[in-house]
Amino acid sequence: LKLGIMASGNGSNFESVAQAIKNGELDAKIQVLIYNNTSAKAAVRAENLGVPSVFLDHRKYKNREEFDGEIVQTLRQYDVEWVIMAGWMRLVTPILIDAFPDKIINIHPSLLPSFKGVNAVEQAFAAGVKIAGCTVHLVCLEMDSGAILMQAAVPVLPNDTPETLHARIQVEEHRILPIAIALASQHNLHQLNKYTQ
Ligand code: GRF
């Protein structure tokens, strides 16, 4: 499996995929990390892991389509088959979606379809839910709405803050993302995504 990872920030999920590969739990190779913020810790992790990384600055493009065009070109250049969004904080366009049909995966820190969008953990916390979690899903045009591949739940504990809750959710993110990638690659997901589009 030739993976391309897209990350905007910390990159702990990127690292968990790299670890799973190293440990022999996921039969894959990370061809490239694409990041869009110079301060993204993901870039430092890539360097430490010996993964090639490419910085693409969305601020330099006229619109989302042009930016996505550059992303597609980079992914092709690195011979990527599956695209993993691991904390990618940009909305995507058909340019990217259509270039990798049913082969783009995202991880989101809520039990979708609840709490889409940014600040999902804060939203869940503010709603007072007692069970929170994370979702790995296929990416479609509508944000955080593609077919669900895998979910994991965690309890919300009495003394939690959004930060402690997010940390508990991230433990599960790191566990399920590599598994979901392996599962996704073993199935024909075309049918699955149809139900949600
Ligand atoms: C994760 O919580 C993920 O669900 C969301 O962004 C966060 C990225 O975390 N999409 P990290 O950069 O992988 O540490």
Residue range 5-31, pLDDT digits in tens: 999 999 999 999 999 999 999 999 999
Question: What residues does each domain of the chain span?
Answer: 1-100, 109-135+144-172+183-197
With a 6 Å cutoff on the Cβ, whether 4 touches ligand 1 is no
Q: What is the mean pLDDT of the chain?
A: 94
Cα–Cα distance measured from residue 136 to residue 195, given in angstroms and rounded to the nearest whole number? 16
What is the separation of C-alpha 97 from the centre of its chain, rounded to a whole number of angstroms?
A: 14
Mean pLDDT for 159-169 is: 97
CA of 81 to the centre of ligand 1 (A): 22
Q: Is 80 left (phi over 0), alpha (psi -120 to 50) or beta?
A: beta
With a 6 Å cutoff on the Cβ, whether 10 touches ligand 1 is yes
The two three-digit tokens of residue 163, written as one number: 């930060």
Q: How confident is the model at residue 185 (pLDDT cuts 50, 70, 90)?
A: confident
What class has domain 109-135+144-172+183-197?
A: alpha beta
Tell me whether residue 106 is annotated as binding.
Answer: yes
Instruction: Name which of 72-86, 116-130, 176-190 the model is least confident about.
Output: 176-190
Is it the case that residue 191 has pLDDT exceeding 90? no
Q: What is the H or E stretch that residue 138 is in?
A: strand 131-138
- Residue 87, pLDDT score: 95
**Which is catalytic among the residues 58, 108, 166, 174?**
108
Q: Which atom of ligand 1 is nearest to the CA of 169?
A: 2
Instruction: Name which of 42-46, 151-155, 184-188, 190-194 the model is least confident about.
Output: 190-194
With a 6 Å cutoff on the Cβ, whether 108 touches ligand 1 is yes
Strands 104-108 and 131-138: antiparallel
Mean pLDDT for 78-99 is: 97
Amino acid at 131: I
Cα–Cα distance measured from residue 70 to residue 169, given in angstroms and rounded to the nearest whole number? 32
With a 6 Å cutoff on the Cβ, whether 107 touches ligand 1 is yes
- Residue 197, pLDDT score: 39
> Among this protein's residues, is 187 annotated catalytic?
no
Same CATH fold, 109-135+144-172+183-197 and 1-100? yes
Q: By C-alpha distance, which of 125, 117, 114, 115 is closest to 163?
A: 125
Prediction pTM value:
0.93
Cα–Cα distance measured from residue 82 to residue 183, given in angstroms and rounded to the nearest whole number? 12
Tell me whether residue 175 is annotated as binding.
Answer: no
- Residue 187, pLDDT score: 73
Is it the case that residue 149 has pLDDT exceeding 60? yes
Tell me whether residue 45 is annotated as binding.
Answer: no
CATH level 3 topology of 1-100: Rossmann fold (3.40.50)
Say if CB 132 and CB 153 are below 8 A apart: yes
